[in-house]
């Protein structure tokens, strides 16, 4: 047996922002035979999951379970809510915000990027100021990360909603909650979010 093929003792502990460690009882619960995806058992399981997931987003609206990575969910959110040529306001809270902005460019959107020092979350006052200048209401969405995984900066979502309203601007509020959902308080309905993008097995 070569050295590389020898058995490693203990549990591999992956120390990156995600995926997180999954509790053993959850891993054990997944260790069950496959069920018929067209049968009544799956139907009731899916209904329970779709109902229960609303409590995590704190919403009464339907939640869509989308089979993709976080990047795939970003794309789905942008292409479903916006059209090529639309101006969008994004905030550079770190590397993931930068990746979302780069994707917006590739999809033909026109992002305007408010820069930060990567030590603070999105500033509602800066968002309000930017929106007030857009008298023709050409900016169709404000896109922010609730928790920027790369820098750990948390953005204040409710005050950002207030800033959009204070500017009298109709832009949608789109929030990436991929590394904050279920670990940090998040309230889709109460905070007036239009599109929340969450993710499984994160933070
Ligand atoms: C806040 C945030 N948004 C988006 C992503 C992209 O998700 P994925 O790596 O699953 O494509 C990540 C990944 O860590 C993330 O932390």
User: What pLDDT digit, counting tens, does each position of 81-138 carry?
Assistant: 999 999 999 999 999 999 999 999 999 999 999 999 999 999 999 999 999 999 999 9
Q: What pLDDT, on a 0 to 100 scale, did the predictor assign at position 5? A: 63
- Name the residue range of residue 144's domain: 64-197
Q: What pLDDT, on a 0 to 100 scale, did the predictor assign at position 1? A: 47
Q: What pLDDT, on a 0 to 100 scale, did the predictor assign at position 4? A: 61
- The answer to whether position 161 is within a domain reads yes
Backbone angles phi, psi at 153, to 5 degrees: -80, 125
Question: What are the b/e assignments for 114-146, b being 16+ CB within 10 Å?
Answer: bebebeebbbbeebbebbeeeeeeebbbbbbbb
- The answer to whether position 143 is within a domain reads yes
- The answer to whether position 94 is within a domain reads yes
Give the residue whose CA is nearest to atom 16 of ligand 1. Answer: 149
- The answer to whether position 29 is within a domain reads no
**Burial classification of residue 74, based on how many CB atoms lie within 10 Å of its CB (0-12 exposed, 13-18 middle, 19 or more buried):** buried
Quickly count helices (H) and strands (E) in the chain: 6, 7
pLDDT in tens, 29-85: 989 999 999 999 999 999 999 999 999 999 999 999 999 999 999 999 999 999 999
Ligand 1 pocket by Cβ (under 6 Å): 17-18, 69-71, 96, 145, 149, 176, 178-179
**What's the total number of domains in the chain?**
1
We report the CATH number of the domain holding residue 149 as 3.40.640.10
Asked if 62 contacts 50 with a C-beta cutoff of 8 angstroms, the reply is: yes
- The answer to whether position 39 is within a domain reads no
Measuring CA to CA, how many Å separate 189 from each of 36, 148, 157, 186? 34, 21, 11, 9
Q: What is the mean pLDDT of the chain?
A: 92
- The answer to whether position 153 is within a domain reads yes
Helix (H, G, I), strand (E, B) or coil at 51: helix
């Amino acid at each position: 047996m070569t050295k590389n093929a020898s058995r490693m003792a203990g549990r591999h502990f992956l120390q990156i922002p995600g995926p997180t460690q999954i509790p053993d009882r959850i891993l054990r619960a997944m260790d069950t035979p496959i069920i018929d995806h067209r049968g009544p058992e799956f139907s009731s399981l899916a209904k329970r999951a779709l109902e229960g997931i609303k409590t995590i987003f704190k919403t009464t609206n339907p939640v869509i379970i989308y089979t993709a990575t976080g990047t795939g969910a970003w794309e789905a959110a942008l292409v479903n809510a916006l059209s090529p040529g639309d101006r969008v306001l994004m905030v550079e809270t770190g590397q993931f915000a930068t990746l979302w902005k780069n994707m917006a460019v590739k999809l033909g959107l026109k992002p305007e990027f408010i820069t930060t020092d990567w030590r603070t979350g999105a500033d509602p006052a800066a968002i309000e100021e930017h929106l007030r200048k857009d008298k023709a209401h050409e900016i169709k969405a404000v896109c922010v990360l609730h928790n920027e995984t790369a820098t750990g900066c948390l953005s204040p979502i409710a005050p950002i909603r207030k800033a959009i309203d204070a500017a009298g601007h109709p832009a949608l509020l789109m929030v990436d909650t991929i590394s904050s959902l279920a670990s940090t308080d998040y309230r889709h309905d109460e905070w007036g979010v239009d599109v929340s993008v969450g993710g499984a097995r994160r933070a």
